[in-house]
Amino acid sequence: MPVNETLARYSDWSYASAVVIYVLAMVFYLVEQAMTKTKRQVARELAAVGGGESDAAPAESSVVVTSSPRAERIGRMGFALNVLGVMLHALAVVLRGLATDRVPWGNMYEYGSAVCLFAVIGWLVLAKRFDIRRLSVWVLLPIVVLLFLGGTVLYTPASPVQPALQSYWLAIHVTAVSIASGLLLLPGVASVLYLFRAAYEKDGNRFGKFAARLPKAEVLDRLAYRVTIVGFPLFTFAIICGAIWAESAWGRFWGWDPKETTAFVAWVIYAVYLHARATAGWRGSRAAVINVLGFAAMVFNLFFINLVTSGLHSYAGVA
């Protein structure tokens, strides 16, 4: 079926508009961050007996984060722009699918766009549920970078997929891995921020006001864990579907292709993270480091494996 060039062009415009709106949302989020004040409070506990000044315990300091109504309003405007960006982004994905009459993730450009879309949608849900909107700028930063690379270096004009990809498994396998990859981007960012916050809580002089504005370490740890336990089963399902598709297309379930190998390494890392996080002795920074390694493996698999190495997946440009 020929490509509908008009819809394809509208898709490209929507994609570019979404990136611009995401950048504007980041600006609003940054302004909110700048207007959020941190103040160190000194608390002095009185001794149980006496209650006089001479009986007071040593002073303990804590940082209080205060947000003015104006900063809150600017943050809500950034969130509204974020929602608008998601709508334009989703429109770009849908129009690309309509233009090509197939699922809109048949090459690296489309796949990266879908992964980022699922990541932003997942983040908007989490930001409302956990009241962590002020972290949005750090989530949007890698997403905007990925979208920029997708729209420039990795851009592919709308076209039918190659015969090897004309299978219903494209809709099943790649959809599952796109959603899983998008969701697993979020705990990666949360774990990176956790390491900053944990270091700050251990030593109040480390990373200064940046870490003080972050949610408590336990909140970031819980956020990373909960999203991972949702994304990991989806990632597992995607790998299983990929193996079934490989047996149908290539006559074997697993061949240690570079793409398959890196996906398996990422799967093992996330399995180790979930085990470590569920074990009391491995909670905290050590578990967060494992999650960051999983995040790095996913990004490595997305770009380096697809663009540099050669294998059975190279022609596809997708997971």
Residuewise pLDDT in 10s, the chain (319 residues): 678 999 999 999 999 999 999 999 999 999 988 887 765 554 444 444 444 444 444 444 455 566 678 888 999 999 999 999 999 999 999 999 999 988 888 888 998 999 999 999 999 999 888 878 888 999 999 999 999 988 998 898 988 877 666 778 788 888 999 999 999 999 999 999 999 988 888 876 666 677 888 888 888 988 999 999 999 999 999 999 988 887 876 777 777 777 788 889 999 999 999 988 877 667 788 889 999 999 999 888 777 666 665 555 554 444 4
At 56, is the secondary structure helix, strand, or coil?
A: strand
Q: At what angle do helices 108-130 and 69-100 cross, to 10 degrees?
A: 150
Tell me the torsion sign for CA atoms 294, 296, 301, 305: negative
- pTM of the complete model: 0.84
Closest CA to 222 of 130, 298, 140, 290: 130
In this prediction, residue 93 carries a pLDDT of: 96
The neighbouring-strand residues paired with 63 are 40
Contact by Cβ (8 Å): 207, 285: no
In this prediction, residue 103 carries a pLDDT of: 87
In this prediction, residue 108 carries a pLDDT of: 84
